[in-house]
Structure 1
Amino acid sequence: MLVDSHCHLDFPDFAEELDEVVERARKAGVARMVTICTKITEFERVRGIAERYDDIYCTVGIHPHEADSQPETDAARLVAAAQHPKVVGIGESGLDYFYEHSGRLAQQRSFRAHIKAARQTGLPLVVHTRDADADTVAILREEHAEGVFPGLIHCFSSSRELAEKSIELGLYISLSGIVTFKKAVELQETVRALPLDRLLVETDSPYLAPIPHRGKRNEPAFVAHTAKMVAELKGISMAEVEKATTENFARLFKKVEMPSAQAA
């Protein structure tokens, strides 16, 4: 049994065949999927997908790319939206200094609002960070000092140092198809060193399809390839990775109703 902890099923890439995409995921052993909100103005559409399928849940939040273009959103609005039974996380939010589609101050304000909402709800914060390790860690530490909150670094592709500092703060690390790429040697070495009880797997679909599907549209069924690579890197069986990452997911996303065999 696998879980895709981060996908974007509301994106246009899936509009014409969402039922088929979900069915392929089920056949690949993916028991739960979390479709991630990137724009607060489109939250209802994201939530609608979670309402449509028993095995799909969602988050509420604003991607750092959208911090300037979306209505400035405080923690109270996020907390209110998170009362819905299918909303199981806050985000994705964070910092992206690679593209800087939004100003850094706007990203930071939005990030702190999401952290506050995660603290108030107890729901995990889904963190996006790219080329912003120092500020990401600084904000996480500052906010952690104000009160603990659960969370994960999604689509992890940064330094081992960021991973270890995040784990010290109680966060989990979620791995995407990037870990299967031949040039991702540093990331693969980091994964070997990280504790298995802090790892999740995801697709970030429709992006970042793993080998052997690289260059194609990604989808939740392909999370199995990422899990297989983690098993190879750790020198353990695929079954062990499936069990560990699913149990980790259940511990973090406590609001998700897991199949009885994996309830935690």
Structure 2
Amino acid sequence: MTDRIPQVLTIAGTDSGGGAGVMADLKTFQMRHVFGTAVVVAVTAQNTVGVQNFVSLSETMVHDQFKALADDFTIKACKTGMLADAEHVRFVVHNLKKYHFGPLIVDPVMIAKGGAQLLADDAISVVKQALLPLATLITPNIPEAERLSGQTIKNRSDMQQAAQKLKQLGAKNVLIKGGHLASQAAADYVLLADGRSLWLETPRFETKNTHGTGDTISACIVAELAKGYDLLTALKTAKQFIYASIANPIEVGHGHGPLNLWAYTDGYQEENDEI
């Protein structure tokens, strides 16, 4: 009876402003009707304007959080977000190998919306060598995909080439988010494990209220996988979830505001099923 409700996990940093990180993940899980748990890797002092400070948790505390969840919950899918530095990436990898928490979505968070660095430079190689091979799906935005693939991305062709390189690093499936490209559509490129590829597109909505977009889309994918949907269906649902959340903005804070997670309903996809 204890595993009838899909249970999921986010492994990331907090956001005291509530728009990104663990807070955004847990809100998304709740909106998608799964039960969210968390391993907190770092705590940030943050708002919509930027990240003012952060501190990483001790190795013991990270390990103990993983053990506490493994002892009591049936985790069906999980994701990573902010992992801070090479040492903490290694802590996370150790536990992901130790415990079975279902499909792993890696959101390789590097830079906050306000520009603060959330992943140390020396951690990039550890992510590539140790974390990506564990990933069911990796969900970088264009700057993150550039750092991981080692190439510049200026157009759709570059996105396709970068996805191939990320897959060669060990990620089974790749989603490169195209929000940073200057184009009329918000186009994301998907390269699947079986070699199939596709574009997920929605109209571009101009707004500064996009704080937590990467966290939210990856958390939505985790939720849909935990409910038993296949990856492609989960990706399409997540794309519509994000589009609804951006296209129906709320005004919170004085900087890059958070998404409107209330905007999406299950009927929304039926009305916007062109993806």
Q: What is the TM-score of this pair, normalised by structure 1?
A: 0.45
